[in-house]
Amino acid sequence: MSFFFHAKRRKLLARTVAITGLAIAAPRFGIRTCSDAMAQSAWPTKPIRMVIAFPPGGPTDIVSRIIAAELGRLLGQQVVVENKPGAGGNLGAEQVARAAADGYTIFYNTSAITIAPALYGKLTYDPQKDFVAVGLAATVPLVLVINPEVPAKNPREFVAWARTRKGQVNYGSSGSGTITHLAAAQLAKDAGFTATHVPYKGSAPGMLDLASGQVQFMVDTINSTLPMIRDGRLRALAVATSKRSSVLPELPTIAESLIAGFEMSAWQGIVVPSGTPPAIITRLNSELQKVLASAEVRGKLLATGTEILGGTPEQYSQYIQSELKRFAQLAREAGARID
C-alpha cells in the first residue's frame, strides 16, 4: 500500500515507534505467549462491533460499511457498524475506550481523535493511553472549492483576489475545530490572506451557503463536494492532498500550484481499546490489509473519491503521534477551542 502524505510525514510512518509509556504506541510483536496464541486461535467466536463516531449516511459511515462487510467475511464473523455520533466524535471514542479489550469492539476512527485534545479542555478519555493502533485504512482528499461568482479559475487567482478583499472574505466549515476548519485556516495563513471563519453544523449547510454566496470558499471532503462540483454549483480549484485525486485528476494539488509542502486530508483507520491482546491486533491488521487489497473494495472506495492507504500498527501509531502534535499547533494558530 502507498501512503499519500507529505514527504516528512511519510518518513514518520516508516520509522519504528520510539515512544514508551503510551498505549496508543504500537503493540509489541516479539515473543508470543501461550495466551496470545490461544486468543488468536479462538477469536473471533461472535460478531464484532465497529463503532464510528458519526451519523449514518455520511462519508465516514459509507467507507466504514464497505470495509466492515469485507472484514467480516474474512474473519468469519459479522462486523456490525454502530453509529455513535455526538460531541465532535468524543461520544463514540469514549464508548470504545471504556469497552472490554477483547477484540469484539473496534473503533473506526478519523483525524478527529487527534484534533480533540487540542479543542476540549476536558476529555473523558485519553487518546494516548486508551487506544492501541491497528492500521490506517483510507484518506478522503480535501478540496478547495469556491463560489462560482468568485473571479478565479485556479488557486493563484483566488489568493490574489482574496488578498485585495481584507475583511470581506468568509469561509465555511463543518464545525469549529474540524479538519475542514483547520485546513481552510491553514490555507489562508500560508497563502497570506485574511478570512473570517463561519462554522456550520456539518458540511451540507455550509456548502449550500457557499453556493448562494454567503461564504466565498471552503476546504471540504471530495465525497461531500463532488455532486455540487459536477453540477456547477461549486467550482473546484485544487486538492489539499500531496497527490492528485483519482476522481478529479485534472485538479492540481495546493502543494504543486500554490504552497509547497501543503498537505491536509481526512484520514481514517482502526484502533482498539488498550489491553487488547497483541495476537488479535496482528490478526486484525492482517485482515485489514487483505480488505484494502480487494479489487471489489478498492473499486467501491475509489468511486467515492476515497484513497486507499494501509500499513502496519507501528506505522499508524507513529502517524497518530505526529498528527496529535500537528493539530495541537494548528488549533492554537486558528484559535479553535471548545471548553
Which of 54, 51, 40 lies closest to 85 in space, CA to CA? 54
147-174: per-residue pLDDT in tens? 999 999 999 999 999 999 999 999 999 8
Whether 219 and 201 have beta carbons less than 8 Å apart is answered as no
Bridge-partner residues for 235, per DSSP? 146
Give the global pTM: 0.82
- Kindly tell me if the per-residue pLDDT of 50 is higher than 80: yes
- Residue 7, judged by CB atoms within 10 A of its CB (0-12, 13-18, 19+), counts as exposed
Q: Residue 310 has what pLDDT? A: 96
Q: Residue 36 has what pLDDT? A: 53
241-265: per-residue pLDDT in tens? 999 999 999 999 999 999 999 999 9
Using CA atoms, how far apart are residues 99 and 125, in angstroms rounded to an integer?
A: 12
- Kindly tell me if the per-residue pLDDT of 47 is higher than 90: yes
Could you tell me the CA-to-CA distances from 293 to 44, 67, 301, 325 in Å, in that order? 22, 11, 11, 30
- Kindly tell me if the per-residue pLDDT of 293 is higher than 50: yes
308-329: per-residue pLDDT in tens? 999 999 999 999 999 999 999 8
How many CA atoms within 13 Å lie on the side-chain side of 16? 3
88: region left, alpha or beta (phi > 0 left; psi from -120 to 50 alpha): left
Could you tell me the CA-to-CA distances from 217 to 99, 148, 245, 264 in Å, in that order? 40, 10, 19, 16
Which of 104, 1, 23, 2 lies closest to 320 in space, CA to CA? 23
φ/ψ of 257, rounded to 5, equals -105, -15
Could you tell me the CA-to-CA distances from 337 to 34, 54, 201, 266 in Å, in that order? 47, 20, 16, 20
| Angle made by CA atoms 280, 286, 290, in degrees to the nearest 5 | 140
Which of 228, 84, 116, 253 lies closest to 182 in space, CA to CA? 116
pLDDT band, very low/low/confident/very high, at 6 (cuts 50, 70, 90): very low
Whether 219 and 143 have beta carbons less than 8 Å apart is answered as yes
For range 123-131, the mean pLDDT: 94
- Kindly tell me if the per-residue pLDDT of 16 is higher than 50: no
Q: Residue 290 has what pLDDT? A: 99
User: Hey, what domains does the chain have and what are their CATH numbers?
Assistant: 7-139+267-334 (3.40.190.150), 141-257 (3.40.190.10)
- Kindly tell me if the per-residue pLDDT of 238 is higher than 90: yes
